[in-house]
Homo-oligomer: A and B are copies of this chain.
Amino acid sequence: MPLPTHPLRDHACLIVHGPDQPGLVAAVTALIARTGGNIVTLDQYSSDPEGGNFFQRVVFHLPDLSAKFPAVEADLQETLEPLGMSWKLTDQSVPKRMAILASTSDHCLLELLWRHRRGELNVTVPMVISNHTSVAEDVRSFGIPFFHVPSQGPDKSEAEARILELVRDNADFIVLARYMQIISEDFLEKVGVPVINIHHSFLPAFVGATPYRKAKERGVKLIGATSHYVTKDLDEGPIIEQDVARVNHAMSAADLQARGAYVERAVLARAVQWHADDRVIRDGNQTIVFSDSP
């Protein structure tokens, strides 16, 4: 976990990925050098030195970044396009906007709001949306807007339309902090920003509903939690982070759930932090995570 004092003035983050080829790191770092930038962190990964894919994240310090930003982008375009590389440059002093969807459970939600208040997540939180009202007061005590969007009955389209209306153009990514509604493929397409979920099991074990009850029935000795990007295939999206806790025979399914809550909130918080810091690159159904945690 990084825990710098966000926002990071005059720090840019550059993500580059595409077909590996000799000279890529040199090309990118030379570009940064000629802008006058100083590299703070560089992470690089090649799936195979011969014929694989290349992934790079580099953070550099560039005085007067915002004024120079367009010029750096133009230079990147000119340098990297001929090489067939994808890239994205972000100004780390501009936090991402994170909308949160929740239901009645408060543990993941409050953990995010509290870490945000401590300045440990480089995000703003424009809103929390819930299909219940039980967390409204807690959310507002953090000075954050709360919206109640009920979602009853089998047809979720009205609720999803209302959520879309709220988040569109107001969020750079969405976090499902134990939001107990299934998100439709249609919603995912329309919303157009990454959606991060926390699943209360060590995926791919115990997909679907009531994983703690299933874990109890199987007699496992560890329970887990998994944070992943949401795709149209339920519980099948790219995994960002996972962790486990030890349990034993004497614990009921309710005990597993209570203990699991602590794993869930830690796992989701790390996933959100890494996403917010542009440390996660999606590669098909997997992720490259340039984590700063040891």
* B-binding residues in A (CB < 8 A): 1-4, 20-27, 29-30, 32-33, 36-46, 49-50, 61, 107, 110, 114, 118, 120, 141, 202-206, 218-222, 224, 238-244, 246-250, 254-255, 258-259, 262, 266, 283, 285-289, 291-294
Residues of B within 8 A of A244 (CB): 222, 244
Known contacts: A3-B259, A248-B289. The answer to whether A22 contacts B44 by CB under 8 A is no
Known contacts: A22-B33, A38-B49, A220-B239. The answer to whether A288 contacts B254 by CB under 8 A is no
**A1 near B258: Cβ-Cβ < 8 Å:** yes
Beyond A43-B43, A110-B114, A221-B240, list 10 extra A-B contacts (CB 8 Å): A25-B25, A40-B46, A49-B61, A120-B258, A203-B218, A203-B220, A204-B206, A221-B242, A222-B242, A249-B288
**B203 near A286: Cβ-Cβ < 8 Å:** no
Nearest Cβ distance between residue A222 and chain B, in whole angstroms?
Answer: 5
Give Cα A166–Cα B39 distance, bound, in whole angstroms: 45
Nearest Cβ distance between residue A211 and chain B, in whole angstroms?
Answer: 11
Residues of B within 8 A of A221 (CB): 239-242, 289, 294
Residues of B within 8 A of A241 (CB): 221
**A222 near B249: Cβ-Cβ < 8 Å:** no
Contact of A249 among B24, B37, B45, B50 (CB under 8 A): B45
